[in-house]
């Protein structure tokens, strides 16, 4: 890995961050808070949130098997994705490399930040060839984007291949594991000690059932997290979100049950889709959705919309011609979808 000072943008390296009231004071015994121009009424929502979310990080760290200093929370993972571009990539100069097809936000954030985006196609089984990915890199490549299990394809990317990329690349490899709870593979956040140049993304939006509260997270070595903390908005995670997340994390048993049910339903749905005359192929999945190649994805999508059932039409995505991406719902939602398709 290149030195962090070489990878970061100069302005970010030199940045002296905004110091907010709740940053400057962080003792425990204060009872009179007259430092932040807050309204003294309407407790507790009159108070600014903890800018570094210490309480939540302590709980999350235990749950995820990392240390609190290795966590940065974002307003969804989407905030962290943007943060990575802003910290590492010089607009108009640097570039990033990513697998293709994959999650659309990486390209959108690259475009917003005026950073060249270099997609490298996966093979016919949606698997990664480490050498092809590495060949797309040059001296100005700061980030490599890998998503596993991948969206919209659903499959795990071979972890040996990912490790090969991580070992050979001298910049940062971002591994988006938004769907890791639905798979049995060892999560990359547990390999931080071995690979100092990875940034792993997780989210509360999928298995944890909290898409509405907007809480995503990055796991990385402390030196990288310190940079994120300097650049992010001081109060990026609001009080309501921090409180709700604290409560949600207490009930990981409930989440385990959801995951088991969803994975079981996934097996049933994949088998049922295979039996449909209009379904040509189901791709292997380790996520809470699957990708299905159909006879005519647009026509089936339109038909389902008329029935009030919305799936994701991915036919215009590279290598996903005539594919629908179907999220696993409740048993009865899944049955509605199957009933509609059997009538098609």
Ligand X SMILES: *Cc1c(COP(=O)(O)O)cnc(C)c1O
265 interacts with ligand X by CB under 6 A:
no
Nearer to ligand X among residue 9 and residue 266 (C-beta): 266
Note whether 211 binds ligand X by CB under 6 A: yes
Q: Is 289 in the site for ligand X (CB under 6 A)?
A: no
- Contact pick of 73, 85, 88, 103 for ligand X (by CB under 6 A): 103
76 part of the interface to ligand X, by CB under 6 A: yes
Torsion sign, CA atoms 167, 169, 175, 180: negative
**Whether 137 contacts 169, CB under 8 Å:** yes
Which H or E element spans position 14?
helix 10-14
Q: Is 241 in the site for ligand X (CB under 6 A)?
A: no
Binds ligand X (CB under 6 A): choice among 9, 52, 66, 77? 77
| Minimum distance, C-beta of residue 76 to ligand X, in the bound complex (Å) | 3
Bridge-based pairing of strands 323-327 and 312-313 is antiparallel
Could you say whether residue 149 binds ligand X (CB under 6 A)?
A: no
Residue 147 as a binder of ligand X (CB under 6 A): the answer is: yes
- Comparing CB distances to ligand X, the nearer of 95 and 205 is 205
In what order do the strands lie in the sheet containing 323-327? 279-282, 289-294, 323-327, 312-313
> Which stretch in 24-32, 56-64, 75-83, 123-131 sits in contact with ligand X by CB under 6 A?
75-83
What is the distance between the alpha carbons of residues 122 and 130, in angstroms, rounded to a whole number?
10
What single-letter DSSP state applies at residue 273?
H
Our finding on whether 155 is near ligand X (CB under 6 A) is no
3-class state of residue 212 by DSSP: helix
Residues within the interface to ligand X (CB under 6 A):
76-78, 103, 147, 151, 176, 178, 203, 205-206, 211, 216
């Amino acid at each position: 890995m290149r030195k962090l000072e070489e990878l970061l943008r100069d302005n970010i390296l030199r940045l002296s961050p905004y110091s907010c009231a709740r940053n400057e004071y962080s003792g425990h015994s204060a009872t009179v808070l007259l430092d932040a121009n807050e309204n003294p009424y309407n407790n507790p929502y009159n108070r600014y949130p903890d800018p570094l979310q210490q309480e939540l990080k302590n709980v999350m760290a235990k749950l995820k098997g990392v240390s609190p200093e290795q966590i940065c929370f974002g307003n969804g993972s989407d905030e962290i994705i943007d943060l990575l571009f802003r910290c590492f990539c010089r607009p108009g100069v640097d570039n990033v490399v990513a697998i293709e097809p994959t999650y659309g936000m990486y390209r959108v954030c690259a475009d917003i930040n005026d950073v060249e985006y270099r997609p490298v196609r996966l093979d016919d089984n949606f698997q990664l060839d480490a050498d092809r990915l590495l060949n797309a890199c040059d001296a100005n490549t700061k980030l490599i984007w890998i998503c596993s299990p991948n969206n919209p394809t659903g499959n795990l990317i071979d972890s040996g291949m990912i490790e090969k990329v991580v070992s050979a690349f001298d910049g940062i490899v971002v591994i988006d594991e938004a769907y890791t709870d639905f798979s049995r593979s060892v999560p990359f956040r547990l390999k931080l000690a071995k690979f100092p140049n990875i940034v792993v993304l997780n989210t509360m939006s999928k298995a944890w059932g909290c898409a509405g509260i907007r809480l995503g997270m990055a796991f990385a070595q402390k030196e990288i997290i310190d940079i994120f903390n300097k650049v992010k908005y001081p109060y990026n995670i609001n009080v309501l979100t921090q409180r709700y997340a604290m409560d949600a994390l207490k009930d990981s048993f409930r989440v385990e049950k959801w995951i088991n049910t969803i994975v079981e339903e996934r097996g049933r749905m994949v088998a049922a889709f295979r039996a449909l005359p209009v379904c040509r192929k189901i791709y292997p999945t380790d996520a809470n959705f699957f990708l299905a190649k159909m006879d005519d994805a647009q026509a089936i999508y339109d038909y389902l919309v008329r029935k009030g059932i919305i799936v994701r039409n991915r036919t215009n995505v590279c290598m996903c011609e005539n594919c629908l991406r179907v999220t696993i719902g409740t048993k009865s939602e899944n049955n509605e979808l199957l009933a509609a398709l059997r009538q098609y």
